[in-house]
Structure 1
Amino acid sequence: AALYCAADGVGAARLDPADGRVLWSRHGPAGDTPSVGVVSVSGGLVHTAVPGGKLRAYDPAKGEQVWDADLSPYLGAPFAAGDTLLLVSEDGTTEALDSATGVSLWRHPLTGHQRPDYALYDEGSGLAYAFEHSAYGSSTLVTAVDAATGHAAWQRRLDGMLTPVGTSDGALVLTSMNGDAQTVGLVRYDPERKSVARVALPFRMNEPEVVVGGDTAYLLAHGGTLVAVDTGPAGDGAVRWQLETAAGRTSAPVLATGNRLYFSAADGRLLAVDTERGTLLGQTSPRLRDGKLTYASALPAPVAAGRTVFGTAPDGSVFAVDGQDPAHW
């Protein structure tokens, strides 16, 4: 019933998804750096964060601030994990805040980690995945943490410079990088069987955005190349399809019902892809400011809700389209 956004100079805003009306917007106190794109909804509240500044929680109905917290002792922005917000301090200690109240639920270092990063949260299991590369990138320590309690469900050191990107039937899927920070493969780790399967990509990809759905990983690289790779336990890691989308710089892709994948391009286009056939179903027109391409440091991913898809463009606009009919966008 609501769409939440962040923008330059706006800490948070609530829009009516039916017609795009701004129902409320809140600016941070004077002197705050705008919290562009850092907005999450958990614990029944809307949260915005400025790394090194303030974490603020707003009531979604009226936009009134409910609580705030100082982020200066922590590295980066909070990681949303269900009804918990995870923060990592300078000494590597993880602290979990109740996203509804801001109360600390637990605080302790993760065994074996010095400064972990959180890359993934699995809603089904309630596990947040922390990872940390070794000094020379030869291995990666991965820990599955129960976000509510802080207990480690499992921990494993895996060869290579890896980053968790998704889960599939209880297994963790990670990307693998070479020494030049190019993604060259995928790794599937099954914690129950303690088995590791590695898949080489057909070519190196520069900083791809990745989303996992079922037994398939979708990798969207700079330049617009979109590749679907089989990651299933019985599969051989084959490339299911490859599509050139001609989108030079993109957001992260988003999977939705009806075999749909959506992502935004730097010129404000929203693109739709059929995940079964690997075909481009449609795209919106570019959204430029005064006819010129506007640079944005980050491109927010679209939001799919029901049959509606909400997109944003670097010109600051937000728009909604019918996800069932991308051919007429």
Structure 2
Amino acid sequence: MTIDADAERRLWTLGAPPGVLGRPVVAGGTVYLPIADGRLAAVDPDRGRVLWCSAPLTEPDTTRPVPVGEVVVMPVQREHGRCGYVALDAVTGTVRWKRIKSDLHRVAAAGSTLVLWNDTYDERGKIAGVDALTGELLWENEFERIWRLLVRGERVILDAGGLRALDARSGEELWRKGHGNPLPGPGSPLPGQQGTDDAAVFHVWKDGTEPELSLRAADTGEQLAATRFPRRALRHFSGPPILLDGGRALFAESYGRRLQLFAHSGLAAAEPLLELRFARWRFTSFSEDPVCVGDWVYVVAGRRDQVYAAQCGDGSGPRRIPVTAPDGRTMTLPRAVAGPGHLFLSDGRTVAAVRDGRVLWTKATDMYDSQPVPLGSDRVLFPSRSRTADRNRLHCADAETGHRLT
């Protein structure tokens, strides 16, 4: 590989022959990059320098590395309902321990403990705690079914026939109280991962005749506040909301192409902020879940998978955002990725950045797998192919301008 870096602006580009670089993942402040032959590289996010490269791993799931203190745990040989794990030293990349494949196929970090569980329909709800540094089994338990799991500091909060909390280190049940669906907070990269959530509290959604979103204390399960939602307004939505920053809750129904946005923080009754229905053609749906960046909601919908945007409080309704590639082609079948301040789009040949409902820039990549990966609020990772097609590159580019090193 070759590295071209601008330390002052924290921009860099890695170059390698085709087939060497995989799709990057940002976790725990480090860029993890799959390399040919099942290897994993850790890359400094500011300088693009390769910190280490692991030995070959057996069928690694490089989309889901889990940093846990001194190690990063990588799922391997993943299949339906079964998975193995390898723990790599976070500083050197050497293997600390391995766990053979089992039906504990879901994973989350809780302090110095790795929490493993399953949630498939054909398996019982098994759960276990493993020491992240040694791989030693600390405890295990089994429930009729684990519907959802959240981590809050050293606590594991389950929806397992009712809400209950376990100590992540010992497996001891700390409390059992109430019912509902515990929800990941805003900024959570994956269900069960903490993200920017407050470890002291969590949210629970209750559907039914009186839909309610409640805020509860993680250490006791006590309800601290509750917000009621209008049942009639939610009659088209079957699932729980997605929690967004700014105390907002987003409901979306793909096939009906509907969405509603409410404010809930500190309110006894939720206040509607936005109600939209996109692309009214029959037999169409959202191509992917709607995303919200700041005060703007974006969806990909319609017969041609066009990008629509709507601003909260604007009252003008959704409008289509045409995205044109550098060669004049209109972007088709785009995939949307939300960053802290930008929406990034990719159709396999072009990447683009959108802010406040306006396209800021587009760049040609000429690579099918060119999905952008936000790196903080000011940078974005995306690959491209050289003009001679003998070199692939991973760019850490400026999110606002698209400037990249070549």
Query: Normalising to structure 2: TM-score of the pair?
Result: 0.55
Report the equivalent of 2:126.
Answer: 93
Paired position in structure 2 for 1:137: none
RMSD of aligned residue pairs (Cα, Å): 4.5
State the distance in 1 between where 2:246 and 2:345 align. Answer: 25
* Distance in 1, Cα, partners of 2:74 & 2:401: 31
**Unaligned 5+ residue runs, structure 1?**
133-139, 179-183, 274-278
Q: Please state how far the C-alpha of 1:114 moved relative to its aligned partner.
A: 1.3
1:21, distance to aligned residue in structure 2 (A): 4.1
- TM superposition shift of 1:35: 0.9
Q: Tell me: CA distance 1:173–1:53, structure 2 relative to 1, closer, same or farther (3 Å).
A: closer
1:305-324 mapped onto 2 (5 Å cutoff): 308-312=378-382, 318-322=394-398
Asked whether the equivalents of residues 66 and 108 of structure 2 are also in contact (C-alpha less than 8 Å), the reply is no
Preserved contact between residue 150 and residue 182 of structure 2 (Cα < 8 Å)? no
Which of the numbers 137, 142, 149 marks the counterpart of 1:104? 137
1:39 equivalent to 2:65? Answer yes
Higher strand fraction (1 or 2):
1
| Aligned-partner residue type, residue 154 of structure 1 | W
Instruction: Quote the sequence identity (%).
Output: 18
Matched, 1:267 2:358: no
1:77 aligns with 2:130: no
Residue 293 of structure 2 corresponds to none
Counterpart CA distance in 2 for 1:155 and 1:326 is: 50
Paired residues of 1:79 and 1:85 also in contact (CA < 8 A):
yes
Question: Contact 2:336 / 2:345 at 8 angstroms: preserved in 1?
Answer: yes
C-alpha separation between the residues in 1 aligned to 2:363 and 2:212? Answer: 33
2:31–2:42 contact (8 Å) kept in structure 1: yes
Q: CA deviation at 1:194?
A: 7.0
Q: Deviations over 1:8-28 (max 9, x none)?
A: 864532112124344433364
Q: Does 1:158 align with 2:179?
A: yes
- Does 1:25 find its partner at 2:53? yes
Distance 1:57 1:327, change over 3 A: closer
Contact 2:104-2:126 within 8 A present in 1 as well: no
**Which residue in the other structure is 2:159 paired with?**
131
Q: What code does the residue aligned with 1:87 have?
A: L
Shifted more, 63-72 versus 17-26: the winner is 17-26
5+ unaligned residues in a row in structure 2: which ranges?
Answer: 1-28, 186-196, 276-295, 302-333, 386-391
Amino acid at match of 1:69: R
Aligned pairs for 1:298-309 within 5 A: 302-304=374-376, 308-309=378-379
Deviation digits for residues 125-173 of structure 1 (CA, Å, limit 9, x no counterpart): x3222224xxxxxxx62323332332333333436xx352226795432
Report whether the alignment pairs 1:57 with 2:87: yes
1:210 aligns with 2:242: yes
Offset at 1:237?
1.6
> Shift of residue 56 of structure 1?
0.9
Structure 2 counterpart SS, 1:34: coil
Distance 1:107 1:318, change over 3 A: farther
Distance in 2 between residues matched to 1:6 and 1:227, nearest whole Å: 38
> How many Å separate the matches in 2 of 1:16 and 1:99?
23
